[in-house]
Amino acid sequence: MIKPHGSDKLNPLFVYDVDKHHALQKEAQNLPSIVVKSATAGNAVMLGGGYFNPLTGFMNVADIMGTAENMHTCGGVFFPVPVANITDDVSAIAGAPRIALLDPNEEGNPVLAIQHVEAIEELTDEQIETICQKVYGTTDSDHIGVATFKDLGKYVISGPIQVLNFSYFQQDFPDTFRTAVEIRNEIKERGWQSTVAFQTRNPMHRAHEELCRMAQKDLNTDGILIHMLLGKLKKGDIPAPVRDAAIRTMVENYFPANTVMITGYGFDMLYAGPREAVLHALFRQNCGCTHFIIGRDHAGVGDYYGAFEAQTIFDSLLEGTLDIEIYRADHTAYSKKLNKVVMMRDVPDHTKEDFILLSGTAVRTMLSEGKAPPPEFSRPEVAQILMDYYQSTQD
């Protein structure tokens, strides 16, 4: 198992001490408070779970600009994206040295964290445009990540935080949601010395399944971490509970025991392409994984990124920036010639007609009509779960 990013020991910001936790909950009732944006809530959950190690809280404007422009804070800490508490109204907390951050995603807006306020600053329009261009590669508001960022507001509240709960993730996904601390502990308990991680925000089809298998074989790792995003996605994406059920069914039926960990994390998708790929690698290093799979258009959306930009961005990182190693994957598909799933780059003699290729639109249409995709594309047990979901949305 490799060490976390930026420190020898993982430093989660969740307050585990029962007495301290109770005292902070009591203090929060008398503090000025704000209902944070969903993106900020996700950041707090990730800070609490140790995924954002070695950060101790929310960045100020200088660090936001530093991470956006050159992936480093002013203090020299490597981080590929800003981690900020940005809002559109700070009137309720003006002048307060400590504030309670309230969860926007749970009924009643319970206290998510307490923040020590070091500064409240205002982003300029020019800075917002620069952040979008550097992090997302575009300032186009049709890009869902850009639109979400621009909608946060302009006021940056910086300072360390103490996290008091993990929002809805722990309650809604008790069998799946895990902190980086918990994942490191389970890897250790399983006795795995090496682990390859696979990121997903979608159900896994045969190509994804075989990609995990290929990576484990090529890298000779002890296990696979299937790590799914449980936060907010874009309209039309399949809900987390359905994805969770589909992935669990696939693993239970088609992988040997003690070779796969199925977990999830509480974060909203950024759709930031290459920058988010680096962030995803950093997450998995903090989880203790030794390797991370990155395929075509990782964390992309629309046509904003080149097919392999999420891989080549790692070539620009200085050696030693991250300890985790990247497994670079090509598009995988079922070969009718070879009767198995292959990486397209490995079969130069194939034409398009030699593969079973289905567009996302075609698959969704089939599922909504109660038609299972061919077994070479999707396991029948997985297809049944997805058919049930799509047909339920039409009732």
Active-site annotation holder among 11, 98, 109, 202:
202
Active-site annotation holder among 98, 109, 201, 213:
201
The single-letter DSSP state of residue 316 is G
Distances (CA, A) of 194 to 158, 213, 262: 36, 14, 16
Listed in order, strand segments (DSSP E) in 251-358 are: 260-265, 291-294, 325-328, 332-335, 340-343, 355-356
Instruction: Give the global pTM.
Output: 0.92
Q: What gap in Å lies between CA 319 and CA 242, rounded to an integer?
A: 39
pLDDT of residue 1: 83
| Residue 253 among the catalytic residues | no
pLDDT of residue 75: 95
Contact 284, 52 (CB under 8 A): no
pLDDT of residue 2: 93
The pair of structure tokens assigned to 20 is 């301290």
| Residue 202 among the catalytic residues | yes
The single-letter DSSP state of residue 222 is S
pLDDT of residue 395: 60
What is the widest separation between alpha-carbon atoms in the chain? 69
pLDDT of residue 367: 84
pLDDT of residue 123: 97
Residues lower than pLDDT 70 in the chain: 233-234, 236, 395
Domains of the chain: 18-167 (3.10.400.10), 179-265+269-392 (3.40.50.620)
